[in-house]
Copies of this chain bind each other. A is one copy, B any other.
Amino acid sequence: MRNIKLTIEYDGSNYKGWQKQPTEISIQEIIEDAIFKITRDKVKLEASGRTDKGVHAFGQTASFFTNSDIVKYKLIRGLNSVLPDDISIRKVEEVNSEFHARYYAKGKSYKYIIYNSQVRSPIYRNNAYHVPYKLDMNKFRQNVNMLIGTHDFTSFTSIKEGTDNKIRTIYSIDIEQKNEVIELTFKGSGFLYNMIRIIVGTLVDVSRGRIKSNIEEIIDAKNRKRAGITAPSHALYLMEVYY
């Protein structure tokens, strides 16, 4: 059997997230249906990880096994011709049979976009988090630096999360600011459920003075209650999965 890896872009606005669900429309289901239309093969897509309701991706990855002998360029064209406007396949690769989009992932990068202005933005309304408060950007940067490295991120994940090991490594967080728009790019070994959204919510709360502790103290507390709000999903983008 062939093992096919897809690199996928999507606007998550209209979906209940990546993962297939009994009653709601998921991105996984839409792509599995498209693969069926093109190859007549009922496959199961294994993604690098779930993305939540509303989260977008420039470079989600997923793989599937198939007996179809369709050539790669016909598969990508075929899939993009039947997929809706808000999902596209950017790349099709044939990988060895051991490859698994989740277990083989060595790291990921995400982008989070903050729109920081008293006035709401019509143009950024669907893809950035509107923060109407004044932020102390020095404090913001100092606290961002405290996140880099290997830490137990228990304070920065939702209680629903079942995995025991909450230790993750953040390699870098780049901050790019252009007028009202603050783009944060996270690179790390992996991220816990809601981790980036809680980190962003906490950075905002700390930089506007709503939370008095700093990120280091909040990490040390290992307590979700010490962190800030979960920032909205529509401003989060899965950029790339590293193998």
Name A residues whose Cβ lies closer than 8 Å to a Cβ of B.
Answer: 9-11, 56, 58, 76, 80, 85-90, 117, 119-123, 125, 127, 237
Contacts and interface: CB of A to CB of B under 8 A. Distances in A.
A122 B86 contact: yes
Contacts of A56: 123
Contacts of A120: 80, 85, 88
- Specify how many copies of this chain sit in the oligomer: 2
Given A9-B121, A10-B123, A11-B125, 10 more contacts: A9-B122, A10-B122, A11-B122, A58-B123, A85-B125, A86-B125, A87-B122, A88-B119, A88-B120, A88-B122
A125 B125 CA distance: 16
A237 B121 CA distance: 14
A107 to B, nearest CB: 19
B58 A88 contact: no
B76 A90 contact: no
Nearest to A85: B125
- For A11, A76, A119, A125, the residue with the greatest tally of chain B CB atoms inside 10 Å of its CB is A119
